Structure 1
Amino acid sequence: MWNCLRGCARFSSYVAIVVIAVIALASCGRKDARSILPDGLKLREGDIVFRRGNGLTSRAVLAADRHGLYSHVGMVVDSCGVMMVVHAVPGEPDYEGDPDRVKMETPEKFFISLNADIGEVKRLRGDTVAPAVAAREAVEIYRRGTLFDHDYDDSDTSRMYCCELVMHAYARAGIPLVGTFRHEFRLPGLGLIRCVLPSDICNNGRLATVAAF
């Protein structure tokens, strides 16, 4: 009996140490997190922002995208005079029970090092009207509470994935960013999907690089 109690005590102590270590590591990760967005970078509404993530889905996207550096894309919008980023993203809840959805957040949070290893900002050449129209469309998509499209079906805009949001918003502004080609590959747990990838947008010749970091 005494040996059993001592064994239980040792096991409980071990579990407590492991839990404390995990919490400490998580806290360190949060404290060390920083935005990779360069200080002083002036963003405009309609700018297209790219980042390369470090999660499982990001790695799967990069493995399928032989011509790309990035796994995720969003759009800069003007929210009451403040530049924000609208993007469709899974697995980044803001609160318990938060569904995968189209979000609006600060550029600094979009480019937080927890979710971004590298990034780039691109801008439509020689046009300020279409980007503003596209940005307003992106805001409307956000305000509708649009959920993330886990089927990656850009023929149905009731739900959207990241590339779909950007290309749809610009298409509504009269600027087609991509053609009809779609990549086919498998994502963990989703099977075969057919979709646009960030490189299809990033490599559009009408877009100029504002900053890469």
Structure 2
Amino acid sequence: MMECRLVLFILILFETIVSCDSKQREVGNGCDVWVDSVSGLLRSGDICMRRGTGIASHVVVHCGGKSEDFSHCGIVVKEADGNIYVCHAVPDEGESPDDSDRVRLVPISDFYGKGKAVRGAVFRVACSDSIAGAAALAAKEKWRLNVAFDHAYKWDDTTRLYCTQLVAMAYMRYGVDLVETRCRSLNVPGFCGDYVFPSDIVRSRLVEMMAEY
């Protein structure tokens, strides 16, 4: 059985490496137009989803199964001056070695930037503006504290965070449970344990898609 899992994992990586360059070429200026059009609809606390172009993104999609349309998520932080940012826990996207592998706060245009997403969507949580805004500030606080990315993906460890954990726990702090019992057990090389995928948030009855591309 272990040999079968190892072969499957190798096939996934092979498919990923072969397809990465072509996927990146598919990303064009259409994404920038979409970001501009959707920005005016957003409030703090909205959830941004994307399907990335890198190896890790492809592994997440494959491990998540057919329902996994997205590989990464973050939470909207809308500042008083109107600028819109996305707070997300992410590896390997820092501008310098010291800035990578941790919670980051980036302009929404950067979150959906060229070469980073082949698909994107924005979701709204069924709660008041005040709760959504408080959840966004809770996530932003993790950025201010420079919380590291959790490469072990341990749900019960909040000293380090991964993307779905950051979003879900920001809302959980204010009594909004976006995950409930949706959690998947995996046992493949590199992933052995219980994990919460982006689709586990998307499937929440409290979440509704606002826009996608």
- Could you say whether these structures have the same fold, taking a TM-score greater than 0.5 normalized by the shorter chain as the test? yes
Which structure is larger by alpha-carbon Rg, 1 or 2? 1
**Normalising by the residue count of structure 2, what TM-score does the alignment of the two structures yield?**
0.79
Preserved contact between residue 33 and residue 112 of structure 1 (Cα < 8 Å) = no
| Cα-to-partner distance string for 1:114-165 (whole Å, 9 max, x where unaligned) | 1100000001135212111100101111100000001101211110000000
Residue in structure 1 matched with residue 157 of structure 2 by the alignment: 156
Cα drift, residue 98 of structure 1:
3.0
How far residue 33 of structure 1 moved from its aligned partner, in angstroms, is: 6.1
Distance 1:187 1:135, change over 3 A: farther
Task: Give the match for residue 118 of structure 1.
Answer: 119
What residue in structure 2 maps to residue 48 of structure 1?
Answer: 47
* 1:100-115 superposed matches below 5 A: 100-115=101-116
Runs of 4 or more, structure 1, over 4 Å off, are 32-35
Q: Which residue of 2 aligns with 1:75?
A: 75
Alignment gaps of 5+ in structure 2? 1-20
Task: Give the alignment of 1:128-139 within 5 angstroms.
Answer: 128-139=129-140
Identity of aligned residues (%): 34
Q: Assess if the C-alpha contact under 8 Å between 1:60 and 1:187 holds in 2.
A: no
Q: In the alignment, is the contact (CA less than 8 A) between 2:183 and 2:200 conserved in 1?
A: no
Cα deviation, residue 74, structure 1: 0.3
One-letter amino acid of the counterpart of residue 64, structure 2? D
- The RMSD of aligned alpha carbons is 2.2
Determine the C-alpha separation between the residues in 2 that align with 1:142 and 1:128.
21
Partner secondary structure for residue 40 of structure 1: helix
- Give TM-score scaled by structure 1 length: 0.79
Which residue of structure 2 lines up, in the alignment, with residue 206 of structure 1? 206
Q: Output the CA distance in 1 between the equivalents of 2:191 and 2:120.
A: 28
Residue-pair matches, total: 184
Contiguous gaps of at least 5 residues in structure 1: 1-25
Matches for 1:2-17 after TM superposition, within 5 Å:
none
